[in-house]
Amino acid sequence: MTLVLTAHQPLYIPWLGFFQKVSMSDVFCLWDDVQFSPNDYIQRNRIKSPNGPLLLTIPILTKDHREKTIKDMRIDDTKNWQRIHWNSLKVSYENKAPYFESYNNFFREVYEKQWEYLADLDEYILKYLLKELGISVTFIKASEIKFDGKKSERVLDMCIKLGADIYIFGETGEEYADKTSFQQSEVKLYFQKYKHPIYPQLYGNFESHLSVLDLLFCFGEKSYDILTRKNPTKEELLKKFTL
């Protein structure tokens, strides 16, 4: 049986393209043991507010962050970020987006809870979103498995140790993937080129590359079909490599 693998760093309420990539895979590896990069989408993302795109950012204790991995990064609990994020979601979507109430209880609970580690929060929300979107995938964390090397070498080591036949890179993967090494190890590569759908949104002109919450609150159970529209399915991916 052909095994399709992909991986990504933890992300806060990720965008649509992330979920489409995961939907084509059998196994998803959360790269939580790589160096933390400040001001990345690990700790922030955009929603659509009445005044346009709004960036929600989780404050982080950044002391010595260059020596720390993502899983070691602590949230700055002196900032009242939970209230800001939850109120922003309510102002933007409550009584306006048809499906906001369907997810209201989960996100209220998320923002009422005190979180110590950023990666724990990202993982908790991600697993919920995968379930709500109907994306079934084996979920593992890099911190629980020892992968060796850096960048392309580390990805290949992961593929070998997990027995992957096909690895899905994001679009920027072509900039650093050592294709020859993968070919020698008989691991096929696919570079995602996500076609972002246009769907009816609140508040005027369409804005792309928002958090998946914008789509989910507006379209609920229809969200998966919308975010994967005009993009390859896992079956189509497998067919591409078996012809």
Express each pLDDT in 99-112 by its tens digit: 999 999 999 999 99
Give the C-alpha separation, 178 to 153, whole Å: 8
Dist. CA 167–CA 182, nearest whole Å: 9
Question: How many other β-carbons are positioned within 10 Å of the β-carbon of residue 197?
Answer: 17
Gap between the Cα atoms of 52 and 243, Å rounded: 45
pTM for the model = 0.95
In a domain, 151, yes or no: no
Does 86 reside within a domain? Answer: yes
Q: Looking at residue 39, what is its pLDDT?
A: 74
| Boundaries of domain holding 222 | 4-144+162-171+188-242
The answer as to whether 153 is a domain residue is no
Domain total in the chain:
1
Quick: pLDDT tens for 124-134. 999 999 999 99
In percent, the amount of the chain with pLDDT more than 70 equals 99
Residue 137 resides in a domain: yes
Residue 243 in this model has a pLDDT that exceeds 60: no
Mean pLDDT of the residues in the chain? 95
Is 178 among the domain residues? no
Residue 61: inside a domain: yes
Residue 35 within a domain: yes
Looking at the domain assignment, is residue 182 inside a domain? no
Q: Are the beta carbons of 160 and 185 closer than 8 angstroms?
A: yes
What is the pLDDT confidence band of residue 72, given thresholds at 50, 70 and 90?
very high
Average pLDDT value for residue range 65-86: 91
- Residues sharing a CB contact under 8 Å with residue 26, sequence separation 6 or more, in sequence order: 3, 4, 5, 137, 138, 234
